[in-house]
Amino acid sequence: MARRPGPAPRSGRVPRPRRPGAPVRAAPRGAIGLRRATVADLPLLVRHRRGMWTDIGGRSPRVLDRADPVYRRWARREMGAGRLLGLVAEDRSGRAAASGALWIAPAHPRPGVFARLTAPYVMSMYTEPEFRRRGAASRIVRWMVRWARDHGYPRIYLNASTMGRPVYARLGFVPGNEMRLDLHPARRRRSGRAGRRR
């Protein structure tokens, strides 16, 4: 039977960022454990969030430099309020392999099962390149799905990147009926390119 989600001890260890262009060597295979993040993990969560945007592409380092402290402040506040649940996957030595966050986002009331004023939203999913394709992201998302189910939510949401889409699809996520109209000219030009946006 699947292990129940729950807190685990934290190491707060932040791996050094990869040199751009450095070859990616697979990390030695071994058990990867999951734990809840705390505010001590904010440097890691911010770095992983930036890694996510970098891999998705289309944002300059300058834009990301500006976004990092904003995300850090926002994540600290939301974690403090209990609305942002961070998850860290790490190997036996405490080296962070992946992370992600579940944001209990505000929602408008709808009739029926979607009457709740909050909705769980999966975000900031990132796996260190050398730890990819070992199931770390899938484990994190499965934890979130269990958490949401255990807390009585009828649905869990996300915006998928091109890399993330197959991972979520395998876990049962399906595309929704959301539409959008890009109002910023640069965004409108880019929006034709599939999978660039989150």
Ligand X SMILES: CC(C)(COP(=O)(O)OP(=O)(O)OC[C@H]1O[C@@H](n2cnc3c(N)ncnc32)[C@H](O)[C@@H]1OP(=O)(O)O)[C@@H](O)C(=O)NCCC(=O)NCCS
Name the site residues for ligand X (rule: CB under 6 A).
Answer: 52, 55-56, 98, 125-127, 132-138, 160-161, 163-164, 166-167, 170, 198
- With CA atoms as reference, report the closest residue to 10 among 30, 49, 31, 40: 40
- Closest CB to ligand X among residues 46, 167: 167
Is residue 99 within 8 A of residue 47, CB to CB? The reply is no
- Closest CB to ligand X among residues 154, 166: 166
- Closest CB to ligand X among residues 92, 170: 170
**Smallest separation (angstroms) from ligand X to the CB of 43:** 18
Q: What are phi and psi of 34, to 5 degrees?
A: -120, 140
Residues in the chain: 198
Is residue 157 within 8 A of residue 119, CB to CB? The reply is yes
Q: What are phi and psi of 99, to 5 degrees?
A: -155, 170
**Smallest separation (angstroms) from ligand X to the CB of 112:** 28
Is residue 123 within 8 A of residue 154, CB to CB? The reply is no
**Smallest separation (angstroms) from ligand X to the CB of 140:** 8
- Closest CB to ligand X among residues 55, 78: 55
Helix spans in the chain (H):
42-56, 61-80, 136-150, 164-170, 185-190
- With CA atoms as reference, report the closest residue to 140 among 19, 48, 13: 48
- Closest CB to ligand X among residues 10, 132: 132
**Smallest separation (angstroms) from ligand X to the CB of 40:** 22
**Smallest separation (angstroms) from ligand X to the CB of 46:** 14
Is residue 136 within 8 A of residue 98, CB to CB? The reply is yes
**Smallest separation (angstroms) from ligand X to the CB of 107:** 20
- Closest CB to ligand X among residues 15, 135: 135
